[in-house]
Structures are given as C-alpha cells and as structure tokens.
Amino acid sequence: MTRALVPTLLFAFVALPASEFTFRSDGGNHRFEVSDERAVAFDAPEARVPTARRVADLALVPAAAAPRGAPVLYRVGRVGQEKYRYIATADVVVKAVNAAAAGALAAANGAVAQPSTADGWWILSFPDAAAALAAVGALEAAGAAPEPQLLRQLQKRAPDPLIGSQWHHSVMRTSTAWSVGGTRGAGINITVIDDCLEVLHPDLSANCPVIALGYHKNLNGGSKPSNDPSPPLNTDGTSVDGHGTCCAGLAASVADNSIGGAGVAPASKLFGVRLIAGPVSDAQEAQALGWRVTAASDYTHISTNSWGPIFPYSAPGALALNAIKDNAIRGRGGKGSIVCFAAGNDGGPAFGNDNANYDGYANLAETICVAAAYQNGLPVEYSEPGACLTVAAPSGPVDGGTDTDQTQPFLVTTDVQGKGGYNPTAGTAGDYFLKMNGTSGACPLVAGTCALMIATNPNLGWRDVQEILMRTATKTNGGDPGWATNAGGINFHHKMGAGVVDAGAAVSMAKSWTNLPVAATPVVVSKSMTTPIPDNAPAPISNSFVVNQDLRCEHVTLKVKATHTSRGDLRITLTSPTGTKSYLAVPFNDVDSDIDWIYLSRAHWGEPSRGTWTVDVSDEQSGDTGTLRELTLTVNGTVAGYTPTNTTNLTKVTITEHGTEIGSTTAAPFSIPYASLPAGRHHLLATLERTGVAATTEALVIDISGPRPSITSRPVVTAKEGTAYLYSPTAPGVAAGTIDWSLVGTIPAGMGINPNNGQVTWTPPNTTTTNPLVPTHVPVIIRATLKSGATVLGIDDQFFLLSVRDSTASSPG
Ligand SMILES: [Ca+2]
Ligand SMILES: [Ca+2]
Ligand SMILES: [Ca+2]
C-alpha cells in the first residue's frame, strides 16, 4: 500500500471538477458549487477521519493559502451560507457486486477499496478530498453510483427559531455556561414578581407549574383568581399587562421546543407573582418578595424584580424589607435566596438623572442591582448609575428614539399571546416581543445567570453569587474614564457595576468556588454634627472616619442625615483608604427636603477596610441650603487579619488571646491572619514591639460568625474565703456537637472546672485583709467550646468579676 507515500504527487495531477457540478448526496441528485475556500482546522489536507465537530468550527481559508485543504462546497447559489456548507472528504461510496469489482474500481481511479456497513456498497479512499471529487465523473460513467462523502452539519431535533435573534446569548456566553456547568438551571425556581406571568404561554408553560397547584400568586385581584398571575385580557384579546411575561422569557423560556427563543436558564421553573399591576401594600410586597408555599419551604430560589418605587428616596416598608433580608438568612437552606432588581430607567440627563442609590430596593446588600448595556458594550443611556450596581446585562435602546443608540438591537423575548402584551399582532406572530428594552430586560438575564450558577454549585451563598458575578463581569469600553480598578482588583463603573455579566465565566468560577468566610461583625463608625453646608459651593465639607479593624470589604454603606430645603442640590462622595470613590448622591432635579438615607456601595468590594475613609458633602445649586446632621459608615466583609497602621521602627507583632499566642511576625507588612479562629467573639491583644521605644498594645475584638455556643446562665459572682464556691454554667440549644468547658486567662489559684458539665469549684484561700468588709475582686473567664468530634466549631467566653469576701464576713453576699 503506497497511498500514503504519494499524495502530493497524485494531487499534482488531479484537477478539481468544474466549479459547479451535480452528484448524488443527501438522498438525491443536487447541484453543488466548489467554493474558493478550503477547510484546514482538522484532518486537512485530506479530511480523512472527520472528528465530531461542527462544520462551522472549521477554519476556512482561501484556496490559495491551503491548496491541499479540503474543498468547501455549497449548494448552488448559497456560497458562504453556513447551513448549506459541505466539507469534502477523501472518501466516495460506490456500488460494486463484490470485493474484486470494488478493488478494480479503486485501482482504475487511484483509490483503495474498503467494505462499508451496507452490503454491496464500498468505500473508495482517495489520496485526498480533491482527488475524490475529481473521480466522481469517472465513477458515474462506470455505473458505480458514486456518493462523495461530504461533511454536513445536522441540526438539533427542535431548535428555537428566534434564538438567532437573541444576540444577548452570545454577549453573555450562555451556551458556554450551559456546557461548562452541565446544567441549564434544572432544579432552580425563579419567581417573576411583576404585573403578570402568562402561565399558559406556549414557550413558558412547560416551565410553569399548573395554576391549581398554588405555586403562583395574583396579589392585584381583578378578574383573575388569587393563584393565577396571568394577564387579564380585554374582549378584543389585547391586555394592559404584559411586562412580566416579557421578563420571564428572558430568564427561563423553554429551549429546543421549536418555538420562540430560549431563556438563559431554560430548565428552571418559573413562578409568577402578580404584584405591580395595581396599588399594593407593604404587606403584599412582603408576600411577593418572600414568596413560598409554606413558611417552611424554600419556594423561591431566585426572584427577578424589574420594578421599583416611583419616587427617589423611596424604600421598602418594614415588612418588605424584612422579607428581602429574610431571604438572605433563611432562603435555600440558609445559603440565601437571590433577589435581583433592575437599576431603573430614569438615568442620564434626558431621563431625569435618577440614581439606583436612591431606590431603596436596588440599594440593598441583599439584592443584586442590574444595569443595562447595549450590544456594543456601552452603558445604555437611560440605565441609572449607582455605587450600588452589581453588574450590567444586555438590553436595547428606547424604541422610537432619535439618538445614535438606535443602531443598537432590542432584546427578543416572549410576549402575551396574540394581541395581548406589547406585540398586538394576532396569532402566534404576536407571541413574541422583538423590541424589549430597559433594565427590566437586563434584570431577568442576570436572574437566569444566577440560576445556572446555583444549579452548578448549590453550595454558593448569596454573597458568593454577588462576588462571582462581579469578578467575572466583562469590562467593556475599557477606555471610558468612568472605570476604576479598586484595591481588591475589582473593576467598577458607576453605570456598569463590575461590567457586563458573563454567564460562561460566572458558571465556570462558580463550579470551583470556595465560599467566602462567614461575614464578620460589621465595622461601624458614626459621627453626629451640626454643620451648615455652604450654598452652591463645590468645595465639599470633608469628614474622616478612621477604621482600625481589618476586614476585606464587601458591602459598604453610608447613612446620611441632613436637613435641606432641596436635597437634589447635594453631592455625596465616599472615598476609601486606598482612594476608590463611591458617588453616592449626585446633584439632580429633586426639590424635596431632607435626607435620612443609607447609601450602599459595591465599589469597595475586596478592598482592605483599615485606614481613613473620607466623606465629602457639597451643595451645588444656589438658593436652597441645609445642615449635615449625621454620617455613619458601616463596612461589611470578612475577617482578613491584623495589620498595624504605624509600622515605624516595628520589629515584632504578636497577637494573643487571654495570654495564648495566636500568631506573631517579625517581617513587614507585619500582618497576622486570624480567619482560622473558630466562630465566636474573640478578645485579642496585639503587642507591638519597636526599637528604641516601649512596646505598645492594641485591643481587638473580632466576631467570627458560624455555629457557636452561647453561655446563657448568670454567673454566681460572690464567694467567701474558706467556703466552697460553686457555679454551674449552661449553654443550651447547641445543635450538632458537644461542649467542652474550660477556664481561660489567669486562673485563680485552686479554681477548677469540670470539662464535661462546666461546674466551677473553688474554695478561696484565706488572706490577710485590711478591711474584712471590702471584698477582693477576682476576674474569671469561662470558655464553652463547641466541638464536632475533635473539630472545634466555635467558642463563647463568659467574663465576670468574682467578689470574694473575707472569712469573717457574715455572709457570702
Ligand atoms: Ca423556545
Ligand atoms: Ca402579544
Ligand atoms: Ca443649594
């Protein structure tokens, strides 16, 4: 067999057939054109052993660049169209009565014959694809019924015809997310809180439980029953409500069902809560935001909320706020339900310069705040800025606008069937809306991304989901001076958050993510003042806040109280110790009075907390004036370690807890991690040794969350010399573990504790006292240690002063 030795030689003698010719393929005779392209990505030049890859994945190059690459054919008149593309191979299937006849055909045409899977059919293998094509005519003339083996792309059984119009999937890399995560969101429940969810929509219904099962809710009454969130239709088939049905499709419309497009998480379930079709109370908002079938069940894993309050500086009431916070604490078995909110569509000069920081729902640590970005990666004009933004997601321009942004495409999604909803076309053509826009469209895309993330890694907590979204978002339009990279390495832009959501990268990171440590006790620094804010004076009033604790920042909030006759005059900027700025309030057209508000920022996520934070407040409109009353900075995050700020002449830093060393270092930056300490409140002492001066100490109290015991008994605080003292502390209600009891710190001589039941016993020795009526005070620290086997989970220390009376005193007390 010499074929492998001579292909180049043979090729030199073989000319391709005429550019257009007819042969049998795809079950019949068809006309093909040989294009000027060659396929080179695999098995080229012969394309002999095709691997299972999409034809579209092959690199196609001009014939001149790869003369021996496999010829690329198209059906006549379809050159360049991917669906009509065929890659030639070196094989031709022929008919022959037996092996000898097949061998003769092969020999006559410069090929080798092999049996095929069908009796009477043989595969002739040529030196390369060009030779195979060139032999077709001769084989035809020989009556061998040749069929060149062409590679063609087969299609999934039931594609979604509109998915090609859903450009946002390629921006967000949805298909990568599906393949990397190995899930399309199965097992995740996404609740769409909106004006409606058309449960029977043909591209949604397979993901919506039937109404009678009670998984949906209608809080707006009207003609629909309380368990049906579907939009009421007018007699002509139109509907007032339709917004929620558009949002739902972007999150989780059904994939591969031959209709419409596909949601980002097309295997997730959709539950509808009809809330914003009419006026509702705080109690009803709470019912929606905390939606679950029973108090005990994790009904909602993720909610998508493309709505908000009408006025700036408007926030959820007590019950709705509690519902949102409760989701983070109790949802998903304590991992936290995910709450996504749209940033709002009143941003930018043409739309009122509103800011997501003034929206009390989007401006919460427990909610993911979603801005909108055009296909080209620029922030959408109307999308509201804010330091509270998490990420941006794709959306479209204002429909009918006149600016250059009109060149950017809309989102394509489900619409209330037929004449209902936004697309009033009768029949199935009206089942989809091709002009979806707004942060309303962006929000459910992020909700769907979150579904893919927690389906891939169910262990993710709500803070982990936020951090992964931010870490993996794409910094588009990088030359925009609005971008900053903070000291934690996270990019932030006040109109984009951390960037455009990348579902592929987010799911990939989620897959191998180690959860963030438990949140530490927040650092709170507060100042009250009565400081007049100079009218129309850009030079700000500056206030500094020194933070001595070392947290790795997550959410940072600033509470501001100011009396002012026109609060829209004010600019409020927070600057971190490393110089990252959060623009919390920006002058805009709001003439209401006074501010009593907590602003949230994610711009400092990952930064170190220690150092001086600065708050600048200025008034930039003339006429109205006011007074700054209170500033309270709260830094949320995780315990990072202890790093002294003043390192001059420093030689050694040692951290101890009740005299026991936790860690020490003699090398810059003199940082000692203590995240490995068990859960509980730790009272630490940092000793700083310097050359030439006396050592100094700093007290540190850190609170590490997690399973921990809690000593609830009141200590017996009196004792008498020479008389037995007894105290039996209790730490009830500790699940999944045993408690070891110990005495820590300086233990009074002779005092003992039973490690199993905590009983403290001591007989105070007789001492010579100057005044028998004045007791001696002995500090005692009892520690309860929660253990699971040998593993220490958490601690609780009880401190008290034991008053020891003289032996001559009349009673112990
Ligand atoms: Ca579909
Ligand atoms: Ca419609
Ligand atoms: Ca003013």
Return the CATH number at 429.
Answer: 3.40.50.200
Supply the pLDDT for residue 732: 81
Supply the pLDDT for residue 673: 79
Same domain, 443 and 294: yes
Same domain, 468 and 552: no
Closest CA to 58 of 142, 133, 129, 7: 129
163 CA to centre of ligand 1 in angstroms: 8
Whose atoms come closest to the Cα of 432: which ligand? Answer: 2
Same domain, 585 and 436: no
13 CA to centre of ligand 1 in angstroms: 51
618 CA to centre of ligand 3 in angstroms: 9
Supply the pLDDT for residue 49: 38
* CA distance linking residue 232 with residue 328, whole number of Å: 33
Whose atoms come closest to the Cα of 431: which ligand? Answer: 2
Whose atoms come closest to the Cα of 571: which ligand? Answer: 3
Its domain, for residue 571, covers: 523-630
* CA distance linking residue 67 with residue 86, whole number of Å: 17
Q: Which of 440, 566, 576, 582 is catalytic?
A: 440
* CA distance linking residue 139 with residue 113, whole number of Å: 13
**Catalytic residue status for 676:** no
Same domain, 259 and 359: yes
Same domain, 222 and 260: yes
Whose atoms come closest to the Cα of 163: which ligand? Answer: 1
Same domain, 322 and 419: yes
605 CA to centre of ligand 3 in angstroms: 32
List Cβ<8 Å contacts ≥24 apart for 731-735.
Answer: 731/758, 731/784, 731/796, 734/707, 734/709, 734/710, 734/786, 735/707
* CA distance linking residue 513 with residue 429, whole number of Å: 43
Supply the pLDDT for residue 296: 47
577 CA to centre of ligand 3 in angstroms: 29
Same domain, 254 and 325: yes
Q: Which residues pair with 545 in a beta bridge?
A: 613
Whether 639 is in a domain gets the answer no
Whose atoms come closest to the Cα of 587: which ligand? Answer: 3
Neighbours of 329 (CB within 10 A): 12
Among 704, 726, 747, identify where a domain stops. 704
- 438-456 helix and 174-181 helix, angle to the nearest 10 degrees: 20
Same domain, 443 and 555: no
Whether 158 is in a domain gets the answer no
245 CA to centre of ligand 2 in angstroms: 10
259 CA to centre of ligand 1 in angstroms: 5
425 CA to centre of ligand 2 in angstroms: 6
195 CA to centre of ligand 1 in angstroms: 22
Same domain, 97 and 223: no
Whether 518 is in a domain gets the answer no
167 CA to centre of ligand 1 in angstroms: 15
Whose atoms come closest to the Cα of 618: which ligand? Answer: 3
Whether 795 is in a domain gets the answer yes
Whether 641 is in a domain gets the answer no
**Catalytic residue status for 194:** yes
Q: Which of 243, 301, 494, 604 is catalytic?
A: 243
520 and 704 Cβ atoms separated by less than 8 Å = yes
Whether 292 is in a domain gets the answer yes
Same domain, 601 and 492: no
pLDDT along the chain (813 residues), means of 10: 32 57 87 85 43 57 75 89 86 94 94 91 91 92 93 71 95 96 95 97 96 94 96 96 97 96 97 95 93 65 95 94 91 92 94 95 98 97 97 96 90 98 96 97 98 97 97 94 93 98 96 84 92 96 91 96 97 97 96 96 94 97 97 91 77 92 87 80 88 83 77 87 93 78 92 95 82 76 92 88 80 43
Same domain, 341 and 409: yes
DSSP secondary-structure letter at 262?
Answer: -
Which residues are near ligand 2, the ion (C-beta closer than 5 Å)? 415-416, 420-421, 423, 430
Supply the pLDDT for residue 252: 98
Query: In this structure, what token pair is assigned to residue 797?
Result: 């220390």
Q: Which residues pair with 147 in a beta bridge?
A: 93
Whether 126 is in a domain gets the answer yes
**Catalytic residue status for 258:** no
Supply the pLDDT for residue 1: 30
Residue at token pair 């708050």: 615
Using only C-alpha atoms, the chain has a radius of gyration, in whole angstroms, of 36
Same domain, 41 and 176: no
Q: Which of 43, 128, 194, 195 is catalytic?
A: 194
DSSP secondary-structure letter at 384?
Answer: P
Domain count, the chain: 5
Residue 647: strand, helix, or coil:
coil
* CA distance linking residue 274 with residue 776, whole number of Å: 68
Supply the pLDDT for residue 679: 83
Whether 645 is in a domain gets the answer no
